[in-house]
Structure 1
């Protein structure tokens, strides 16, 4: 069974960020997950990182989507 985008996004987050996102309404979780997926597709720097470590690229994209919330 494939994992949906929100679940993949949540898995890429730090524990603190994951708790925050899980407290948001489902629509907001979907919006953030879509932004995360878009970041992964559009940022060519993440392509290189993804070849070396897919998990690191996913984490970096998640951090970019939530930038500013936990600084």
Structure 2
């Protein structure tokens, strides 16, 4: 069974940001997860990092999204 985007996004976050996002309504979590997917798709720097370490690229994108949207 595939993991949904929100769960993947939460897994990529650091513990502090993960706790904060988990406290948000599901709709907001989904919006952040969608922004995370967009960040992964559109940032060419992450493509290079993804080739070296997919987990590191996902974590970097999650951190960027959290900073942009959570302040």
State the TM bucket, normalised to the shorter chain: over 0.9
Q: Partner of 2:7 in structure 1?
A: 7
Q: TM-score, normalised by structure 2?
A: 0.94
Structure 1 counterpart of 2:59: 59
User: Partner of 1:66: helix, strand, or coil?
Assistant: helix
Q: What displacement does 1:67 show? A: 1.2
Question: Which 4+ residue blocks in structure 1 deviate beyond 4 angstroms?
Answer: none
Q: Could you say which residue in structure 2 is the equivalent of 1:46?
A: 46
Stretches of structure 1 that go unaligned for 5 or more consecutive residues are: none
RMSD: 1.1
Cα distance in 1 for partners of 2:52, 2:32 equals 25
TM-score, normalised to structure 1, is 0.94
Q: Distance in 2 between matches of 1:15 and 1:64?
A: 15
Report the structure, 1 or 2, having the larger helix content. 2
Structure 2 portions without partners, runs of 5+:
none
Number of aligned positions between the proteins: 70
* Corresponding residue SS for 2:46: helix
Cα distance per residue 1:23-63 (max 9 Å; x no partner) = 00000000000000000000000000000000000000001
